[in-house]
């Protein structure tokens, strides 16, 4: 049953934006699970206290939505914010540092 659900999620993620030719990144089962985990956690943020529990500030939250979209479409995202880097790392992303930026990858 779970394989079927995960397969459907993978298909939905991989087909997002096809009509606009936006989807470049092809998710694997593992990256789809990680992306969904990040999206679920993001959707649970409802107040300043839940932001604080995750080590985030309100300004970080404004940037986070855009960065999560980049994870969906590109499999990676770039930030200069230490708090967001830690957030993605805690959820399972691979973090690389390049020229003062943090690159979070779904691997």
Q: Encode pLDDT of 67-89 as tens digits.
A: 999 999 999 999 999 999 999 99
CA distance 4 to 25: 21
CA distance 30 to 36: 10
User: What are the sequence ranges of the domains in the chain?
Assistant: 2-105
Q: Encode pLDDT of 12-65 as tens digits.
A: 555 544 433 445 688 899 999 999 999 999 999 999 999 999 999 999 998 999
pLDDT of residue 2: 56
In the numeric block, which tokens belong to residue 54? Answer: 């995750």
CA distance 73 to 57: 25
Given pLDDT bands bounded at 50, 70 and 90, which one contains residue 91? very high
DSSP characters over 20-52:
GT-------HHHHHHHHHHHHHHHH--SHHHHH
Q: Please compute the mean of the pLDDT values over residues 93-97 and round it to a whole number.
A: 96
Residues ≥6 apart with Cβ < 8 Å to 68: 38, 39, 42, 77
pLDDT of residue 23: 52
Q: Please say whether the beta carbons of 29 and 6 come within 8 A.
A: yes
């Amino acid at each position: 049953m779970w394989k079927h659900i995960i397969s459907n999620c993978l298909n939905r993620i991989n087909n997002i934006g096809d009509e606009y030719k936006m989807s470049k990144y092809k998710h694997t089962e593992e990256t789809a699970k990680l992306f969904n985990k990040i999206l679920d956690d993001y959707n649970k943020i409802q107040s300043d206290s839940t932001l604080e529990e995750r080590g985030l500030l309100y300004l970080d939250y404004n940037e986070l939505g855009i960065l999560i979209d980049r994870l969906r479409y590109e499999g990676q995202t770039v930030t200069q914010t230490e708090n967001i880097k830690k957030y993605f790392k805690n959820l399972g992303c691979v973090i690389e540092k390049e020229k003062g930026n943090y690159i979070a990858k779904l691997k």
